[in-house]
Amino acid sequence: MATEVTVPVLGESITEATLGEWLKQPGDPVAVDEPIASLETDKVSVEVPSPVAGVMGQHAVAVGDTVQVGAMLATIDSGDGAAASAPAPAATATPAAAPAKDESGAGYGDQPGAGTSDSPAALSPSVRRAVLEHGVDPGTVKGTGRDGRITKEDVTAAASSKPAPAPAAAPAPAAAPAAASGRGEERVRMTRLRQTIAKRLKEAQNTAAMLTTFNDVDMTAVIEARAKYKDLFEKKHGVRLGFMGFFVKAATMALRDIPSVNASIDGDDIVYHDYADISVAVSSPGGLVVPVIRDADQMSVATIEKTIGDFGKRAKEGALKMDEMKGGTFTISNGGVFGSLMSTPIINPPQSAVLGLHRIEERPVVVDGQIVIRPMMYLALSYDHRLIDGREAVTFLVALKNAIEDPTRILIDL
């Protein structure tokens, strides 16, 4: 007897998704509630659990297909699937049980000894591309993703630690034509998340009267405070003291003083928020995602750092929840972690402003009539000019700058 596995309810207003990868192949043993597939929605990836224990039956859809809520994905055949981590029976190693398409990808480490995790088909499309780009043997990479699956970051780390290859022997004459014509191309379908990001960013450009204003901030005081207290901070709170905690806290104070930056436009109305839900841009294997720190204005720096750290970890694992991506009254994006010196960030609708942070760079500045070297960072505030005037945007940045250059202001709420 076979049990159908259908697309679960994905959240408010979400009616369809794209099949990102198969985590179980036909013939694999499956336990109750064990993930068998990963679906990509407009916001996050969702794993589909098995409703029963048994053996994975046939896949009803292929990787990359769009599926509606309630549609059948696969079947689970009756059988002994209680020990999902046990090696698959020898019969499942026959060609009939092999993946039907290369796009199908069970996660690395899901089934030790099942005979599929050493195959490139067991990797997600983004990980396979990284393996090909860096020339890494996936069998030597330790996965840090959910259930031990290999992530793109794992492949990059393995490539950076790989010893330089020994000088190759002189190539055979027959290999010359192949080397001369090595101009390969690969066409990869955009993920649903990437499609949604592209659509929303373009809508923001088309709708908002977007403008960006800049300032710079001397990071000396924050760097000194962090160096002085980072060990005690980590010992007491169990999390590292970073710069984002200072910026989020300073931003909530500036938003309180300049409420229009924390507002949004709804038709012909302006909606002002007496709370600060800060969206923080973090990287995930599928692209940039923006989880929300609820009531950040009521949090301590330590709580903010813990929340951001948890978001970053779960974003890499693809474990963020849809509810954590909704809402937000203001966004902070830190391009400095990738080396960006300056940028003009795009608003995250329906919000009316976004703050861009950039890399810290030592530059000569004039202080008290003297030229000194200071660690400086450029700040960029992109805002909707329909709602926020230039004076308010500049005042917001100045308030933020003052709080960062004198962190005591954050402590005494000034």
Q: What are the tens digits of pLDDT across the range 340-370?
A: 999 999 998 889 999 999 999 999 999 999 9
The three-state secondary structure class of 76 is strand
Any catalytic annotation for residue 385? Answer: yes
CB neighbour list of residue 381: distance below 8 Å, 6 or more residues apart: 212, 213, 214, 261, 353, 354, 355, 356, 393, 396, 397
pLDDT, residue 220, reads 95
Tokens of residue 338, six digits:
């990738």
Any catalytic annotation for residue 33? Answer: no
Do 167 and 193 touch, CB atoms closer than 8 A?
no
pLDDT, residue 11, reads 65
Kindly give the parts of the chain with pLDDT less than 50: 81-121, 176, 178
Pairing of strands 330-334, 353-357: parallel
Do 69 and 46 touch, CB atoms closer than 8 A?
no
Indicate which residue of 28, 389, 406, 413 is catalytic: 389
In the chain the domains, ranked by start, together with CATH numbers, are: 2-98 (2.40.50.100), 210-411 (3.30.559.10)
Tokens of residue 320, six digits:
């963020």
pLDDT, residue 89, reads 42
pLDDT, residue 159, reads 77
Model-level pTM?
Answer: 0.63
Indicate which residue of 118, 237, 385, 406 is catalytic: 385
Taking CA atoms, 138 is separated from 22, 114, 134, 148, in Å, by 18, 16, 11, 13
Which residues, in sequence order, are bridge partners of residue 74? 5, 59
pLDDT, residue 246, reads 95
pLDDT, residue 98, reads 41
CA angle 253, 257, 261 (to 5 degrees): 90
- Indicate the residue type of 22: W
